Amino acid sequence: MSEDAPSLRPRVVIVGAGFGGLQVARGLADAPVDIILVDKHNYHCFQPLLYQVATAVLSPADVAWPVRHILSRQDNVTMLMAQVTGVDRAAQALITSEGPIPYDFLVLATGATHSYFGHEEWAPFAPGLKDIQDATHLRRRILVAFERAEASDDEAARRRLLTFVIIGGGPTGVEMAGSIAEIARHALAPDFKRVDPRTARILLIEAGPRLLPVLTEPLSAYARRRLEAMGVEVLTGRPVVDIGADHVELAGGEIIPASTKIWAAGVRASPAAQWLGVETDRAGRCLVGPDLSVPDAPEIFVIGDTAAVSDPAGKPVPGIAPAAKQMGDHVAKAIEARLAGSTAPAFRYRHDGDLATIGRNSAVVKLGRLELTGFLGWMFWGFIHVYFLIGTRNRIAVALAWLWNYVTHQRAARLITGEPEVSEAESKKPPLRQAS
């Protein structure tokens, strides 16, 4: 059969090569279908380690792997790099930058992006962390702040430049705060001559009563103690009411001058629901049926962070990689069941646990009744993440980068790349001190 001859096999179009989308493609490896996997990038990004790209521990290539290569041995998959703009449900076609793609089954696994709770004007001042571009952008902002502080002669400007505010006390916020504290205290400290990076102020602000609310109270309290021991100021029960180029304002009126703000507080689903014209929950996630298909369209499935799904106890399924993978497995089986003329069972989420790393030698892990903290939790966290990385090369590269960082305290990827973006307040600088 020539490559371009029409196929008689049903076509499954999957949008998104994240944890969920990849799992669907792999689950259909032996099914009599033709799969087209569409993504705007050519790589699968391992989001749980993105914060280490943002804080210069890892390079982008360490946490990303070409989708083509992951699926190169699976003959029934074609990968297409394209931007999706909509779904023509009447014509059963996905609308993309490379033209329409007809489908027999459609799986939308397009993930989530940042949500500023109606304050989209905060986005340029407090970027979030969802993809490789976000990570290198944050890396630039963090490293540039130290550079500008070194160049500044104004004490107030220096303080502002050396203040880092992380908004949101979930795993990403905790991990970013810990990692920025470490880069300031150790990796950068010996290299600056005019400012002392160890004096950097790092604030982690959470609107709710405690950090890491998915974990137990003792684990939350442990995470807080560890962060405070590393020099992070943790503020809980303090909603943010305003963010500008050079400040964060908390409820109650306290204003914190800060050049670098990082948003780790909220996400909303990708626009899959708009493409389909289906109902959503408040976070923009598609309301799906028990088998994860869309109401009135059994051939369309929505999975991962862009689907609103509850576990058997009625609790919302969290937006984490294992949940997306389980949904991907389910949809692959559901499509096979349909092709075999039977109906798909209902999806049942199984929660394995939660974990977050805080810094060198400390992490919190909860797996069923097992709780780990400290060095043991940290080693467990590391092994799990290396294990789930895709590709031998990335596992070796990440393990070596961590070993290097552990032994030397150095960060291997301290590069400021991308276009400079100077905030208005920082662009006017007094001259350096005059030589005598």
State yes or no: residue 194 binds a copy of itself (CB under 8 A). yes
State yes or no: residue 11 binds a copy of itself (CB under 8 A). yes
Give the pair of three-digit tokens for residue 203: 């604030």
3-state helix, strand, coil in the chain (%, to 5): 35, 25, 40
**Which of 230, 225, 223 minimizes the C-alpha distance to 202?**
230
Residues numbered 394-413 forming contacts with a copy of itself, rule: CB under 8 A: 396-397, 400, 404, 408, 410, 412-413
The span of 97-105, 178-186, 228-236, 347-355 binding a copy of itself (CB under 8 A) equals 97-105
Closest to a copy of itself by CB, 8 or 340? 8
Q: Which residues of 360-374 are buried (b: 16+ CB within 10 A; e: fewer)?
A: bebbbbbeeeebbbe
State yes or no: residue 132 binds a copy of itself (CB under 8 A). yes
Which of 144, 181, 230, 365 binds a copy of itself (CB under 8 A)? It is: 144
Is the Cα dihedral 265, 271, 272, 274 positive or negative? positive
Number of residues counted as binding a copy of itself (CB under 8 A): 75
The span of 19-27, 59-67, 321-329, 370-378 binding a copy of itself (CB under 8 A) equals 59-67
Is the Cα dihedral 367, 58, 127, 251 positive or negative? positive
Which of 26, 192, 235, 297 binds a copy of itself (CB under 8 A)? It is: 192
**Which of 369, 368, 395 minimizes the C-alpha distance to 382?**
395
Q: Are 269 and 16 in contact (CB under 8 A)?
A: no
State yes or no: residue 218 binds a copy of itself (CB under 8 A). no
**Which of 147, 165, 166 minimizes the C-alpha distance to 157?**
147
State yes or no: residue 79 binds a copy of itself (CB under 8 A). yes
Q: Are 211 and 222 in contact (CB under 8 A)?
A: no
Closest to a copy of itself by CB, 186 or 210? 186
State in angstroms the smallest separation of the CB of 182 from a copy of itself: 16
175 is catalytic: yes
C-alpha 352/C-alpha 347 separation (Å) is: 16
Give the pair of three-digit tokens for residue 357: 């790393």
State yes or no: residue 85 binds a copy of itself (CB under 8 A). no
State yes or no: residue 89 binds a copy of itself (CB under 8 A). no
Candidates 121, 150, 155, 175; catalytic one: 175
| Cα separations in angstroms, 237 against 79, 107, 225, 234, 240 | 46, 39, 16, 10, 10
Site string (343-382) toward a copy of itself, x via CB under 8 A: ----------------------------------------
Q: What angle do CA 408, 410, 416 make, to 5 degrees?
A: 170
State in angstroms the smallest separation of the CB of 39 from a copy of itself: 10
The span of 108-116, 190-198, 253-261, 361-369 binding a copy of itself (CB under 8 A) equals 190-198
State in angstroms the smallest separation of the CB of 363 from a copy of itself: 24
Task: Specify the amino acid at residue 76.
Answer: N
Which of 85, 88, 120, 133 binds a copy of itself (CB under 8 A)? It is: 133
Which of 78, 199, 361, 423 binds a copy of itself (CB under 8 A)? It is: 78
Closest to a copy of itself by CB, 98 or 352? 98
Beta bridge partners of 33: none
CB atoms within 10 A of CB 76: 17
Residues numbered 151-180 forming contacts with a copy of itself, rule: CB under 8 A: 151, 153
Site string (248-287) toward a copy of itself, x via CB under 8 A: ----------------------------------------
State yes or no: residue 99 binds a copy of itself (CB under 8 A). yes
Strands 163-167, 201-206: parallel, antiparallel or unpaired by DSSP? parallel
Q: Just list the catalytic residues.
A: 175
